[in-house]
Amino acid sequence: MKKSALQTARSTYEPKIPNTLKGMVQIEKGEATQSISNQEDIKKLFPNTYGMPILKFVEGTEKQQYNPINVGVILSGGQAPGGHNVIAGIFDGIKKMNKNSRLYGFILGPGGLVDHQYMELTGDIIEEYRNTGGFDMIGSGRTKLETKEQFDKGLEILKKLNISALVIIGGDDSNTNACVLAEYYAQTGAGVQVIGCPKTIDGDLKNEMIETSFGFDTACKVYSEVIGNIQRDCNSARKYWHFIKLMGRSASHIALECALQVQPNICIISEEVEAKNQSLDDVIQYIADIVAKRAANGKNFGTVLIPEGLIEFIPAMKKLMSELNDYLAHNEEEFKQIKRSHQRSHIIDKLSAENSKIYASLPESVARQLTLDRDPHGNVQVSLIETEKLLAEMVGNRLAEMAEKGQYKGKFASQVHFFGYEGRCAAPSNYDADYCYSLGYTAANLIGAGKTGYMSSVRNTTAPAADWIAGGVPITMMMNMERRHGEMKPVIQKALVNLKEGPFQTFMQQRDKWATETEYVYPGPIQYFGPTEVCDQSTKTLQIEQTGSYK
Ligand code: FBP
């Protein structure tokens, strides 16, 4: 594989790890744990993996002997910067315990386990991918691991390869499935440990023991760089409003973090829209009012950040989508037979009067996007819905109405952007390179300690890496019961933006000033070489959460 000069230089970077993982390692057990709610239900469903203690690795005093072990690894779901370093961390970790240990990667996600597609990850392969972005070493996929047939099929290949531990690198859904698999293999005496690792650029797999999911840091830095460039262009030409949609299927963490980095004129936070029970019309009016205010000061330009998941958080749209989901789930085949040009009117006829009215008011393209196939976890594919176009168009219409009433005088021209895929495979920042490698190394140590049903956890990450705290958190501890496809299921609770906490509160205190002034910040590209205050910064979100400071 031909490498760029930066890639070659970067491949020699040695990720920083906590001091406690560097030499001999010993495990410290905490108190027994409980799930965040529905304790009785979850305990019943996970008799073998419920209630286990939180684990922390500390410096050991005695050298331990480890037998060689074969380990499998799976990358699951959307790409996130740093995945290759997790794998490198696992590889180095199990080799340190015993140099005859071996690592196998399952190809293209959980489907590789079920379909027996795998490759051995040797030292040469690992070397090629250290500190690189992407998941292309083994690929990823969205197959949902949930049935006994899949688990048994997986066990066949694990047994054949003599694999006794599996690491699943994924988001909340994939780690939920990892826990179900851990429980099943424990219950059936399969002799396979299962460990999870927290991945997703969306940043919504976090709780008191998991500070952040990997990839969030790098992805937000990439988006912030580009938004900064757009803001500089915008402030140079002074003729466009830029509507920028940012990935994040549900939670608005990415939009909020980018707002804290670049200080845009407007950033919509879905969780706030929902909490205030705002309609689409309210959101449009909010943006239009700021455009009008800036225009009154001669500023016919600006930036609007829009979280990808917004549509699903507008209560009226949520109701519409829930009825649409039900309708499509039960009438998928019939719907697919209908000519594309008739699908919209067909849906309008089938929906309740209230939802039908909203659906009919949507631009044709958005209406069609709402009926596209759901992903294997039943999620609407919000990355395919052009909310940025919807808002730009509707704000334009609203301004025209306001102009007629003499409420707006200005020029409105818009540009739309969607940043998502651009950031998911970027070369990991130092933070993600270090964090991911440490997560992998920690996973190897959890395997060495014979654990199953745990997620690898690395904390205290705004401190220097030497002081990071590595350990394991029982996955059941993060679970609650939620309705999925009409049934109550145990799932890891998704962490949405908390409107009472520091990051949102900081944004709220600043946003009116950012709306009317032009206080753009231009973060520039991620730096891999240079002073630590430039290269080793964590996200603003983490800094505010852990130190209360916003600089
Ligand atoms: P994960 O939750 O699997 O990490 O994926 C997150 C994400 O990047 C979302 O932000 C986005 O909506 C989605 O993946 C896009 O999915 P796909 O890659 O299948 O188009």
Domain CATH for 156: 3.40.50.450
Q: Considering 463, 479, 495, which residue would you say is the last residue of a domain? A: 479
Q: How far is the CA of 142 from the centre of ligand 1 (A)?
A: 9
Which range (63-67, 187-191, 375-379, 439-443) has the least confidence? Answer: 375-379
Considering the domain boundaries, does residue 197 fall inside one?
Answer: yes
Whole-angstrom distance, CA of residue 402 vs CA of residue 394: 12
Whether residue 118 is found in the same domain as residue 204 = yes
What ligand 1 atom has the least distance to the C-alpha of 308? 12
Query: How many Cα atoms within 13 Å fall on the side-chain side of residue 143?
Result: 20
Residue nearest to atom 19 of ligand 1 (CA): 78
Whether residue 45 is found in the same domain as residue 184 = yes
Q: Which residue has the tokens 């991620």?
A: 526
CB 202 within 8 A of CB 523: no
Which range (33-37, 197-201, 445-449, 486-490) has the least confidence? Answer: 486-490
Q: Considering 479, 495, 524, which residue would you say is the last residue of a domain? A: 479
Would you state the pLDDT for residue 531?
Answer: 94
Whether residue 186 is found in the same domain as residue 129 = yes
- How many CB atoms are closer than 10 A to CB 243? 26
The model's pLDDT over 218-227, given as tens digits with 9 standing for 90+, comes to: 999 999 999 9
Whether residue 366 is found in the same domain as residue 473 = no
Q: What is the mean pLDDT of the chain?
A: 94
- Where do the H-state alpha helices sit in 307-371? 310-313, 315-337, 340-350, 353-361, 364-369
Whether residue 462 is found in the same domain as residue 333 = no
Helix, strand, or coil (residue 126): helix
Would you state the pLDDT for residue 374?
Answer: 72
Helix, strand, or coil (residue 428): coil
Whole-angstrom distance, CA of residue 136 vs CA of residue 150: 24
Whether residue 340 is found in the same domain as residue 475 = no
Whether residue 200 is found in the same domain as residue 83 = yes
pLDDT higher at 46 or 314: 46
Would you state the pLDDT for residue 325?
Answer: 82
Would you state the pLDDT for residue 361?
Answer: 85
Q: Nearest Cα to 78, choosing from 320, 381, 463? A: 381
CB 35 within 8 A of CB 476: yes
Whether residue 41 is found in the same domain as residue 174 = yes
Average confidence (pLDDT) over 150-175: 97
Residue nearest to atom 15 of ligand 1 (CA): 383
Residue nearest to atom 10 of ligand 1 (CA): 248
377 pLDDT higher than 70: no
Catalytic residues: 202
Place 378 in a pLDDT band, splitting at 50, 70 and 90.
low
The model's pLDDT over 330-347, given as tens digits with 9 standing for 90+, comes to: 888 888 888 888 888 999
446 pLDDT higher than 70: yes
Cα torsion angle, 402, 406, 408, 411, sign: positive
- 275-296: b or e for each residue (b if 16 or more CB lie within 10 Å)? eeebebeebbbebbbbbbbbbe
Whether residue 362 is found in the same domain as residue 464 = no
Whole-angstrom distance, CA of residue 140 vs CA of residue 142: 7
Q: Provide the CATH number for the domain around residue 334.
A: 1.10.10.480
Considering the domain boundaries, does residue 376 fall inside one?
Answer: yes
Considering the domain boundaries, does residue 523 fall inside one?
Answer: no
Q: How far is the CA of 381 from the centre of ligand 1 (A)?
A: 8
CB 318 within 8 A of CB 312: yes
Q: Considering 455, 479, 503, which residue would you say is the last residue of a domain? A: 479
What ligand 1 atom has the least distance to the C-alpha of 424? 8
β-pair type (163-170, 193-198) = parallel
Residue nearest to atom 12 of ligand 1 (CA): 249
Residue nearest to atom 17 of ligand 1 (CA): 78
Would you state the pLDDT for residue 64?
Answer: 87
**Which residues contact ligand 1 via a Cβ below 6 A?**
77-78, 80, 171, 200-202, 247-249, 308, 382-383, 420, 424
The model's pLDDT over 20-60, given as tens digits with 9 standing for 90+, comes to: 999 999 999 999 999 999 999 999 999 999 999 999 999 98
Whole-angstrom distance, CA of residue 168 vs CA of residue 447: 12
Domain span at residue 163? 35-51+70-215+425-479
Q: How far is the CA of 495 from the centre of ligand 1 (A)?
A: 16
Considering the domain boundaries, does residue 243 fall inside one?
Answer: no
Q: Nearest Cα to 260, choosing from 293, 216, 291, 298? A: 216
Q: Which long-range contacts (CB under 8 A, 24 or more apart) does 480-484 make?
A: 480/35, 480/36, 480/37, 480/38, 480/42, 481/37, 481/38, 481/41, 481/42, 484/378
Counting residues of the chain whose pLDDT is more than 70, the rounded percentage is 99
306 pLDDT higher than 90: yes
Considering the domain boundaries, does residue 228 fall inside one?
Answer: no
Q: Where in 171-301 does DSSP place strands (E)?
A: 193-198, 241-246, 266-267
Pocket test for ligand 1, best of 200, 254, 372 (most atoms within 8 A of CB): 200
β-pair type (193-198, 241-246) = unpaired
Whether residue 203 is found in the same domain as residue 352 = no
Place 154 in a pLDDT band, splitting at 50, 70 and 90.
very high
Whether residue 373 is found in the same domain as residue 438 = no
431 pLDDT higher than 90: yes
Q: At what angle do helices 540-547 and 253-262 cross, to 10 degrees?
A: 90
Q: How far is the CA of 421 from the centre of ligand 1 (A)?
A: 9
Considering the domain boundaries, does residue 59 fall inside one?
Answer: no
The model's pLDDT over 498-519, given as tens digits with 9 standing for 90+, comes to: 999 999 999 999 999 999 999 9
Whole-angstrom distance, CA of residue 40 vs CA of residue 264: 46
408: left (phi over 0), alpha (psi -120 to 50) or beta: beta
Whether residue 369 is found in the same domain as residue 433 = no
Whole-angstrom distance, CA of residue 322 vs CA of residue 340: 21
Whole-angstrom distance, CA of residue 9 vs CA of residue 431: 17
What ligand 1 atom has the least distance to the C-alpha of 200? 4
Cα torsion angle, 485, 489, 495, 501, sign: positive
What ligand 1 atom has the least distance to the C-alpha of 382? 12
Considering the domain boundaries, does residue 522 fall inside one?
Answer: no
Would you state the pLDDT for residue 366?
Answer: 83
Q: How far is the CA of 189 from the centre of ligand 1 (A)?
A: 34
Number of domains forming the structure of the chain = 2
Would you state the pLDDT for residue 379?
Answer: 67
Considering the domain boundaries, does residue 103 fall inside one?
Answer: yes
